[in-house]
Amino acid sequence: MKDTILDANFPKTADGRVYHLGVKSGEVANRIVTVGSISRAKLIATYLDASPKPFSLYSERGFLTITGRYRGTPVSVVCIGMGGPSVDFFIREVRECLQGDMLVIRFGSCGCLTDLPVGSLVLPKASLAVTRNLDFDFANGDPWRVPYRLSKPIPADSDLILTLQRALESTRPVGASGLVVLNTVNASTDSFYSSQGRQTSFQDHNSGLIDNLKETIQDIATLEMETYWIFHLAASWRGLPSAEPALNPPRLSAGPVFSSAAPSESSHADPSRPPPRPAKDTVQQPTIRAAAVQMVFASRSSQEFITPEHVSLLEAWCGQAVLDALLAMDIPQDRLHLQEGSV
Ligand code: R1P
Ligand code: URA
């Protein structure tokens, strides 16, 4: 770290760069595809317009952000590595650099619990978290506790899924017969090994985990490590602080995105209370909308693992489809962060 950091609560440099991704306002677009590997990010970036030259920043902490235009529209590709904590840095820090709506498609790999063949593309309708219960006594066994916890599922953005499905079908390469699968549930885990039910030399108490997941979660199909955390943060974002000015002219909306359950102020008039703030639901708050496309790399039923050649084909296909889907999603002008600076 070479720059002075100004604020311990949300650390940023004097010129507004966030601490881990290293980007600042104007360097990230409202439409984002996030991946886990640098090579996948670079491949997707080859589809961006050559001019203006895409902006690229590889942060000291290993996050890569590439922002350019796809058919004239600003788009970012962000490589975050693996796991929930990386998602947390990504969503919070990018959100801090953006105004308006944030559309996120995660494009990653997964393991599959059903009989879908490797190379299938799964667009989960929802995702839950499977986490290791650290209070369980893993060394000695523990009759009182469960070794793994399952969260409630959180839905994906249904418009984004359908747009993604259409984009995948319309960019399908000639001869590619891979399945595009909807209406399944994903589980994001906190380990590639223990909480995905893999048997290793550690005492993980996970031999019944996959059967348990299949029994308790209807439509469960895929296991990976990030999707849930994206959906969870998208659903729990509370919008821009009320003090922050709206982008361009504020727009009245037909309905709130985050409904306010506040009681009517007029019936509780009390001079000792501060004047009511403008109702949050008269101006539509920006949103975070998210979906995922997951390439089945590992079949956990047949034990088959995908070949590198098959991965290349899928990445080229999906890389273009995710960009097409992001472009096809409408973001009203007043909810777009105008691109500045180097982008
Ligand atoms: C594990 O090999 C990694 O692959 C999957 C998992 O979620 C985990 O991050 O995703 P990526 O292909 O995006 O890396
Ligand atoms: N990614 C995962 O997280 N699990 C798999 O089995 C394959 C890819």
Q: What is the CATH number of the domain that holds 307?
A: 3.40.50.1580
Tell whether 273 is covered by a domain. no
* 118 C-alpha to ligand 1 centroid (Å): 15
Ligand 1 pocket residue status of 192, Cβ below 6 Å:
yes
Number of domains into which the chain is organized: 1
pLDDT value at position 255?
Answer: 29
* 231 C-alpha to ligand 1 centroid (Å): 16
Unique residue bearing structure tokens 């777009």: 336
Q: Are strands 121-122 and 102-112 parallel, antiparallel or unpaired?
A: unpaired
Beta strands in 236-308 (DSSP E): 288-299
Tell whether 254 is covered by a domain. no
Tell whether 8 is covered by a domain. no
207 is written with which tokens?
């031999």
Tell whether 217 is covered by a domain. yes
Tell whether 343 is covered by a domain. no
Tell whether 114 is covered by a domain. yes
Tell me the C-alpha distance between 18 and 14, whole Å.
Answer: 10
Unique residue bearing structure tokens 């000015």: 245
Give percent of the chain above pLDDT 70: 85
Name the band, by pLDDT with cuts 50, 70 and 90, for residue 254. very low
Question: Looking at ligand 1, which atom is closest to the CA of residue 224?
Answer: 7
Contact criterion met (CB below 8 Å) for 27 and 342: yes
Contact criterion met (CB below 8 Å) for 22 and 15: no
Tell whether 249 is covered by a domain. no
Is the ipTM of this structure higher than 0.90? yes
Tell whether 15 is covered by a domain. no
Residues 73-128 pLDDT 10s: 999 999 999 999 999 999 999 999 999 999 999 999 999 999 999 999 999 999 99
- Which residue segment(s) compose the domain that 43 sits in? 31-240+286-335
- Write the DSSP string, 76-145: EEEE--SSHHHHHHHHHHHHHH--S-EEEEEEEEEEESSSPPTT-EE--SEEEEEEE-TTS-TTT--TTS
Name the residue with the closest Cα to ligand 1, atom 14.
36
